[in-house]
Amino acid sequence: MTTPPVMDIHQILKKLPHRYPILLVDRVLAMDGKTIKALKNVTINEPYFVGHFPHRPVMPGVLMLEALAQAAALLAFSAAGSTLDANSVIYFVGIDGARFKRPVEPGDQLVLDVTLERSRAGIYKFKAKASVGDEVACEAELMCTMRNVG
């Protein structure tokens, strides 16, 4: 028996402003105030595979980082106890120590694990890892900030 997701795609769409083709989180499996585990199902239908690369499709590393940043944004909203509205936005403001360890191809399920390391003055710092099965595909430290724009 499988456990239901903490957030399905409909709930994610209410929390993140991203839409196709840049929404890169399909489901949240677990989340508490400090960690999140989310999924990105990688399919051959992704628009970037047309050119990256036609002879051997590989998910661009920058999109793996974006998927991790979107999972981090979901965690930041949860940690702040706030929700997306017309006046709030989370900006991606930094990446440190990004490393790519394995290619991600169509058919892979990218598991996004993000931990909130600290939050101070509206700046959030996360440790993030994307894996396929037991293999790490990408890891980095990410920073974001939540701002009111209205």
Q: Which residues are catalytic?
A: 52
Rounded distance between C-alpha atoms, residue 6 and residue 36, angstroms: 10
φ, ψ of residue 133 to 5 degrees: the values are 60, -130
Q: What is the three-class DSSP state of 48?
A: helix
Among residues 63, 78, 80, the alpha carbon closest in space to that of 119 is found at 80
Alpha-carbon dihedral angle through residues 140, 58, 37, 89, given to the nearest 10 degrees: 70
Among residues 106, 104, 111, 105, the alpha carbon closest in space to that of 45 is found at 106
User: How far lies 114's CA from each of 30, 36, 127, in Å?
Assistant: 11, 5, 6
